[in-house]
A = this chain, B = another copy of it.
Amino acid sequence: MSKKYYLPEDKLPKNWYNILADLPVPLPAVLHPGTKQPIGPGDLEPLFPMDLILQEVSTERYIEIPQPVREAYNIYRPSPLIRATHLERALGTPAKIYYKYEGVSPTGSHKPNSAIPQAYYNKIAGIKKLTTETGAGQWGSSLAFAGAMFGMDVDVFMVRVSYEQKPYRKAMIETFGGRVTPSPSNRTNSGRKILMEDPDTPGSLGIAISEAVEVAATNADTKYCLGSVLNHVLMHQTIVGNEALLQFEDAGDYPDVIIACTGGGSNFAGFTFPFIGEQLRGGKKVRVVAVEPAACPSLTKGRYAYDFGDTVQLTPLMKMHTLGSSFIPPAIHSGGLRYHGMAPLVSHLKELNLIEARAEQQTDCFAAGVTFSRTEGIIPAPESTHAIKAAIDEALICKETGESKVIAFNLSGNGYFDMQSYMNYFAGAIQDLEYSDDDVRKALEEVPVV
């Protein structure tokens, strides 16, 4: 029988885990893009409420999850930890495979785990309106849901090409009460400037960020929200790993290897940081594997350097694995994994050899996703198939060696809004991309020297 582990209400985690407390080497400072000096909390105040800025730099190990956030979490949390017995049987492996399933959330992925607290902390700071950008719509719909929970307006700039190609994510944002504007738009100076130059532009995440930031910076009652990369976003996601630790106790097991896909890094961090923290404090050692798309290989082929977080180079400089802020990843289907950089915390752990990284080709990932669908009954998001691919590979190694290792991965989301990708896969229309060293060299030419 497939075993599913939940948690009784009195055992639900009451804290997020902040890995900054346990790092053997401190995280490099974030630098002001002009002065190249470390930024202070005041520099971020136009965009974020002080509670979130303080979380960004806190070194407290545990930060309490406010009661209203826990109530909103409780709509879909705890997410189950599931023993994938049907997959194990199909593979004929002696390994035990577990997955944490974040697809149970209102928007089908882990994104609400940070959208909810971001909405909450803005709410108690007196903010009435939130702006954000969204590509494929996963983050935008999650913030719209969080806004509905706390009665806040949510204003989403959605990359125009996605707005046109993914009307159902737009419909989801509107169903949750959010406003969607295709970007670039006439609502901002940034948008108008781009439209004047190229009225038919498909838009980009970089442009959408500029518009959302501009609206927040020019309206006192409005702040900006980001769905990944930043320390506080990653910390909110640790609710995933904190639950998993308790659920593994319940299962009477502990993972030998834990796996998650990486785009900006939030799903990976949320699942793995609490386990890495255990290890850093002298607990059990665990192999940690980050899986990224071969078409956007920041962790495996990027340079570890100071770079901008956005394409238009307005953000502070963060030290991270990057392919260069002007890098435009090819249009692979895993929209959530197309970021040019990697969260500074994830990059730092990679430099400290606390995590491994590998890049996978998309067709292999879809094949793993189909195997998973037909055995475990969940059609995974294309992003999540990267983790499944790695988990299956680890399980097949166990089949060869006869070891019954415990393998665990984060199934960050389901693929119910990604069926077009599966159609393309079945039609043979998905191509693998060989990202050459020459490509990398070119992409890295623009990384600024600090």
Contacts and interface: CB of A to CB of B under 8 A. Distances in A.
Interface string A41-78: 00000000000000000000000000000110011100
B370 A1 contact: no
Interface stretch (A234-242, A354-362, A414-422): A414-422
Contact of A2 (B2, B74, B175): B74
B416 A1 contact: no
A171 B2 contact: no
A248 interface: no
What is the predominant secondary structure among interface residues of chain A facing chain B? helix
A416 B108 contact: yes
A176 B106 contact: no
Interface in A360-405: 370, 373-379
A123 to B, nearest CB: 15
A3 interface: yes
A148 to B, nearest CB: 4
A76 B177 contact: no
A99 interface: no
A124 interface: no
Copies of this chain held together in the complex: 2
A174 interface: yes
A410 to B, nearest CB: 18
A167 B421 CA distance: 12
Residue of A149, A168, A175, A376 with highest tally of chain B CB at under 10 A? A175
Contact of A419 (B172, B374, B379, B426): B172
A86 interface: yes
B423 A167 contact: yes
A121 interface: no
Contacts of A172: 379, 419, 422
B74 A1 contact: yes
A175 B370 contact: yes
Interface string A307-329: 00000000000000000000000
A439 interface: no
Interface in A1-48: 1-4, 6, 9
A47 B429 CA distance: 38
Contacts of A376: 75
A104 interface: yes
A176 B374 contact: yes
A426 B76 contact: no
A75 B3 CA distance: 8
B71 A378 contact: no
A378 B419 CA distance: 20
A268 interface: no
Contacts of A417: 416
B75 A373 contact: no
Given A104-B104, A177-B374, A171 B426 contact: yes
B374 A2 contact: no
Given A1-B71, A2-B71, A6-B6, 5 more contacts: A3-B9, A106-B377, A108-B416, A145-B377, A175-B373
A70 B376 CA distance: 14
Interface in A168-209: 168, 171-172, 174-177
A38 to B, nearest CB: 39
A80 to B, nearest CB: 9
A1 B70 contact: yes
Going nearest first, the 10 A-B pairs with the smallest beta carbon separation are A106-B377, A168-B419, A171-B419, A148-B374, A416-B416, A75-B377, A171-B423, A1-B74, A2-B74, A171-B422
A82 B9 CA distance: 13
Given A1-B74, A3-B9, A148-B374, A379 B422 contact: no
A373 B173 CA distance: 11
Contact of A377 (B76, B86, B379): B76
B423 A176 contact: no
A420 B149 CA distance: 24
A257 to B, nearest CB: 24
